[in-house]
Every structure is written in structure tokens, then in C-alpha cells.
Chain A
Amino acid sequence: MSRIHSRLNTDSSEYRANYLASQRRIAEFREKQDAARHQRPPRDVERLHRQGKMLPRERLERLLDPGTPFLELSSLAGNMAYDGEAPGASCITGIGVVSGREVIIHADDSSIKGGAWYPLTVKKIVRCLDIAIENRLPVIHLCDSAGGFLPLQSELFPDKHMAGRMFRNQAILSKMGVKQLALVFGHCTAGGAYIPALSDYAVIVRGTGAVFLAGPPLVKAATGEVVSVDDLGGCDLHTQVSGTCDYPADDEAHAIAIGREIVAQWQRPTRWALERSAVEAPCYPADELYGIIPDDIKRGFDMREVIARLVDGSRFHEYQPAYGTSLVCGYANLWGWRVGILANNGVLFNDSALKGAHFIELCNQNSTPLVFLQNITGYMVGREYEARGITKDGAKMIMAQSCSVVPKFTVMCHGSFGAGNYGMCGRSYDARLLFAWPNHQIGVMGGEQAARTLAEVKMRQLERNGQPLDQGIIDAVYHDTLKAYQEQLSAYYSTSNLWDDGILDPVDTRNALGIALSASLNAPLEAPGYGVFRF
């Protein structure tokens, strides 16, 4: 495979300006992430220590194999919700290695409001279990939650993908033979009680761990019975009498040690044999990505420069290099594994859409996972393109991509606007994992376009009603829309709502994709098959 010959001029003023702007964005991202991970009211930290509890990240550190990577997911979920009251959406999820096995971890964060589940907490846990199902990853639950955040119950309880989905997913995982372990450090109340009950193995800490459908206050209100936490659902009741939990532990460290030994008994999964070569580092430094990413959402850039800094040896076998050039397609190795890459180099035309659909089919028949690198403003519009069938060609790409059975991974590198998001494996299309860079913006259209459109609508409305054309009113509509869009288009808003699996520092993308790819090999491949393509 040929090495990509970078044309990046690292001495240019544009490169240096981009680099500085990226560094500013990364510093902002790291600051937000650090706050979400570690900034807690001292009162809550002291309470946990008084109870003999560790902080959730201390538990993780003890649980994970030393020196192995941990890919934390959606570390900034909830960062723009609930007035910032639920950093990280009050839980930690991520893929790591325990006793030599790849696992996914869900850890309640009791350093925030007793680990209460906000609506976004539930969304994050459900997503974690969806990832477990799609990749057949064993799950370790670190339970310590006060239960659902009651003031917002209507947003976390009744709908299809809300609280009930956690337990449904647990049952499905069990049916698939994917192992689950629950370590009960604190309370598992109401629905939360089903987490250990639906796990294959449950360890509970004496004195602090408790599992019950209703805590003592609710029991008293319901039946008048007065009972202590320990008598109602403590360690000894569940490990000696009810059989709801399997192993009693003296303290948290003991529970983690038992948990690690349980995982060590699990059969190792049979991974499907993806073509693999010797691993080679890219031959261009990853931090040059900072100088490639434009500081302006409207500016395009050559995605080959990004590919050159992600893949092994910066080697890339480009497919149809002269056809449909606004979509770069080709094979590369990532941490030694062969992947097919689809990357946007501009708007999608008829030929680029057809090329994309064709390449997706080739990769499916060839058992080659797909990596989508998005920077897309949509499919080309206009009469000429409609006449040539841009809509049905885009539909072919969506068909091929939706029905694709090989693992898919998406990185939101810059813009993701309009229907291009669909063709390029946006959130709705089951990418095994979907990451975003901090500069990323996503929306049905850009802020300026929306503001202009709505200002024009307002103008026509005033005209129709026979009112005078007040430029002030029109300008206000324009600016209000622009402002609202700017907030809602941002990567922070997107990740707050779990429209992705987390923001990445661009230099970490290669590692994140490597972990994601490795995890994806646990789930067997289905035979490829498609619906009806409109030719």
C-alpha cells in the first residue's frame, strides 16, 4: 500500500492559526472534562469516605487491569442539562480490560446527588448496554444509586428507551450468553434492584450495600412495617437467605477482588478473524491534526491528511481515486486490522454517492469494518442534480450503509449537516461507536442558513398581514435564531444529549478506534444482504 504523501505545509500561517485555535479548543475540552470527572462538593466526598466508600473512579482504578487502556464513553454527557447538576450524566461508562477480558463497565456516580439517575443517566446506561449487545461485551455494573431522580420521572420512566430498557437489555444479554457481574457498593432501589438480580453474578458489600424494591421509608408508608436497611435488603439477607446476591464482601476492596476473580473464570470469546498485519505507527505526527482542522466551520480540508495521521504507516489503498472524488474511499490498516474508510472531501454528488454505496458493498462481502470520517454539508442540490437522480443515488448509499453488517465506526471531524449525516453513518445508523471532535457541529442545516430562512419567513408573514416591514423585528429573528443554533449545533450540546459516544481529542482518535475495533470482533458477522436499490 502506498504511503499518503502529505501536502500539509506546517510553516504556513493558516496551519499555525488552525493549530493555535485547536489547542484553545482542546484546553477548553480538557477543562470541562476534568471538572465533570473530579469537581465535586467536598460535602459529598466526605460523606462517601465516612461511609467507607471509594469514589467511583477509585473503584474503577482498582477493578481494571493495571497498565491497560480504558476508553471512557460520553464523559461530558449532561454537561448542558439540569443546570450542570449531573456532570457526566451522573455515571461512568467505558470499555476496559478486567482479568484479561475486554468488558464494558457501568458505574453509578454516588458523588453526585447520591448517584440518582437523571433522564440522561438512564440514556447513558441504556446506550452502554446497547454497546454490550452489539459487540457481545461482558458487563460489569458498579452499583451505588439512590434510584430514579423523582422530579423528572416522566423523562426517565415511561418510554421505550427509558428505565425499563436497562433491564430488558440485561435480559437480552443473558439470553445471548454475554456475562454480567454486579458489584453492589451502595443502594439498588426500586428498578435499580433488578441490576444485580438480572446479572449472572452479584457481590454485595456488608454494611453499605443494599438491594430492595422499596427502601425503609416507602415500606413504612405502604404497609406500616418499620425495618432497617440491613434487615430489609442488606448483605447477609441477600447472600444467606434470599439468594438475590451471591457473594458477601467485607468492604469495597474485597468486593472488587472477588469480582476480578469471577471475571477470570469466564470463557474467553471467540473473535472473528479479521485480516491483521503487523502494527505500524502513522508516519506523520498526530498533533498535526490540530493544524488541519479549520477554525471556520465552512472551510473544507483534504481528509487524506487526516487519514495519513490515523492509519498504520500512513498507507492507504485508495479505491476509485479519479471517480466521485468528493468522497474518498479506500483500505487501510488500523492497529494492524484492515478497515475500509469513507471520508468526505466536499459535498456528495451522484458519482460520489454511488461510489460510497459500491464501496460499502465491497467491504461487506470482504468482511472489512467501515470507518466513516464525516465533514459533510449534504448531497448536492439543484435541478441538474435532481434530474440526474441525486435523491435516488443518495438513497442507494443510505440503503447500502443501513443494511451493512460489518462493524461501523463514525468520527465527526468537522461539520455534519443535512442528509449527508444519514449516508455517512450518523447516530441513527448503528455505528458501533460514534465519536466527535470538539470543533464538530451538527444540525439539519447551518446556523446562518436557518437564520436567513426564518428571517425571510418573518418578512413574508409581516407582508401578508399588511404590517410595515420593521427591520428591527427581522434582525431580531435572525440573531435569535443564529444564537440558538450556535449553542445547539455545538459538539458540547450534542455530547450532552448523547448524540455521540463522547468527544475525543483528535490525537486520541487512532487509539479510540483501535479499542472500538478490537471490541467489535467479539460479535459474529451476519451474512450481508440489502433491500431494493432504486436504480
Chain B
Amino acid sequence: MSFFYEMDGARVPIEILARRPALRCRVDDVEYIVEELPGADDGACLLRVNGEDFACWRVIEGGRVHLKLAGRTLSLQPEDPLSGAGGNSGGHELRAEMPGVVVALRCEPGVPVAAGEGLLVIESMKMQITLAAPRAGIIATVHVELNETFQKGALLVALHPEEAS
């Protein structure tokens, strides 16, 4: 099993080889055997790395670990392997997922919008839904007017493609 740590801005891969009887891991092709020794408390801890003992201090803040070790202070954050963008492709076009009518328009061409900002409110099947910008960008065209009905798949709003990033 391997994962990444973000350490002071750098992305560091760590490979876990075994957890028992002691943690055995590999970083930059070097293997380490790490044991946490009992007896320390209140943020202080005692680590034995490849037979050598280190006293250090550790503070956990949310997902981030701050470590003071051998005169250096390190800040580490394990990377969440689940944090991928998934299905959010963030295209240039906002299309209707179902037939409906426009009940509010909150955007106009040339205006910059943030990702997730509400662009228009549609009503379909007795429910009003706010359609949000799929990504940050500048509005290119608004293809519908207030109170206009539209069919499924209709193009409602387009963003300038060059603003993508």
C-alpha cells in the first residue's frame, strides 16, 4: 500500500511494507523500521527509527500533523486518495436536464462567474431548481429569456471556452 504526503509544499510518496510487528516503510528507495516507544505524553513522543531513538513533539490539527524533530519543524498532510474530481467535468455549456420554464435569470453575457454560482432558476415538475456555473469563467451567451419554456437538452447558458483552467 502506498500513499502521498504533502510535506512543506512537496509531495512525498510513502510505501507501507508492513505494519506489524513494527511499521516498515519505504521513502525514496530507503527502507525504515519505525517504532513508537511508550512513556511519553502531552504531545511528546519517542520514536525509534532503524534502531536510533528520536524525541519529538507532535500536534494534530484537522488532517494535518505538525512535527518537531531533531531541531526541525515539519508540517505534513496525508493526501486523500478519494479527493478526485469525479464526474464534475466542468464544461462550457449548461444544458437542460429536463423540460421546464425559466423563472429567474441571474447572469448576462460578459460577466465573470464563480464555480457553483447560481446562473438561473428553472421550474419543472412543480419544483424550482437553481442551475449553477459548472466552473469559474465568463458568460458567453444566455440562450433563454425569462418565462421561456425549453425542452430537455436545450442549451441554456454558455461560458467562454478560453477561460477554462
Contact = CB atoms under 8 A, between A and B. Distances in A.
Interface in A370-389: 377-378, 380-382, 384
Contacts of A445: 126
A316 B51 CA distance: 41
A384 B97 CA distance: 13
Interface string B86-130: 110000000001110000000000000000100000011111111
A377 B125 contact: yes
Contacts, number: 45
Contacts of A300: 127-130
B129 A346 contact: yes
A449 B126 contact: yes
Contacts of A381: 125
A347 B99 contact: no
A299 B129 CA distance: 6
Interface string B1-44: 00000000000000000000000000000000000000000000
Interface in A293-309: 296, 298-300
Nearest to B126: A377
A347 B127 contact: yes
B70 interface: no
A411 B87 CA distance: 28
B130 A347 contact: no
A382 B98 CA distance: 10
Interface in A333-350: 346-347, 349
A384 B98 CA distance: 11
A397 to B, nearest CB: 16
Given A322-B86, A349-B98, A380-B98, A417 B129 contact: no
Contact of A382 (B80, B82, B99, B128): B99
B150 to A, nearest CB: 13
Contacts of B72: none
Contacts of B165: none
A298 B152 contact: no
A417 B152 CA distance: 22
**Secondary structure call for the B interface:** loop
Interface string A315-356: 000000110001000000000000000000011010000000
Given A2-B80, A7-B116, A384-B152, A347 B86 contact: no
Given A2-B82, A321-B86, A322-B87, A347 B128 contact: no
Interface in A1-35: 1-2, 7
A192 interface: no
B125 A378 contact: yes
A248 interface: no
A446 interface: yes
B130 A417 contact: no
Given A322-B87, A347-B98, A298 B126 contact: yes
Interface in A399-431: 415, 417
Nearest to A449: B126
Interface in B113-165: 116, 123-130, 152
Contacts of B123: 298
Given A2-B82, A7-B116, A347-B98, A321 B87 contact: yes
Contacts of B116: 7
A448 B97 CA distance: 24
Contacts of B86: 321-322
State which size class the interface on A falls in.
Answer: 20 to 34
A446 B127 CA distance: 10
A299 B122 CA distance: 10
A347 B96 CA distance: 13
A445 B126 CA distance: 9
A7 B117 CA distance: 10
A447 to B, nearest CB: 10
B128 A299 contact: yes
A513 to B, nearest CB: 25
B23 to A, nearest CB: 22
B132 to A, nearest CB: 9
A299 B123 CA distance: 9
A293 to B, nearest CB: 14
Nearest to A323: B87
Contact of A346 (B80, B83, B127): B127
Interface string A103-134: 00000000000000000000000000000000
A445 to B, nearest CB: 8
Interface string B43-68: 00000000000000000000000000
A300 B104 CA distance: 14
A449 B123 CA distance: 14
Contact of B125 (A296, A321, A347): A347
B124 A347 contact: yes
Contacts of A349: 98
A321 to B, nearest CB: 6
A159 B158 CA distance: 61
Contacts of A378: 125-126
A516 to B, nearest CB: 28
A445 B123 CA distance: 16
B53 to A, nearest CB: 31
Interface in A136-180: none
Contacts of B83: 2
7 contacts: A2-B82, A298-B126, A300-B127, A321-B87, A347-B127, A381-B125, A415-B127
Interface of A: 1-2, 7, 296, 298-300, 321-322, 326, 346-347, 349, 377-378, 380-382, 384, 415, 417, 445-446, 448-449
Report the 5 A-B pairs with minimum CB-CB distance, sorted nearest first.
A322-B87, A347-B125, A2-B82, A377-B126, A300-B129
Given A322-B86, A346-B129, 9 more contacts: A298-B123, A300-B127, A326-B97, A347-B125, A349-B98, A378-B125, A381-B125, A382-B99, A445-B126
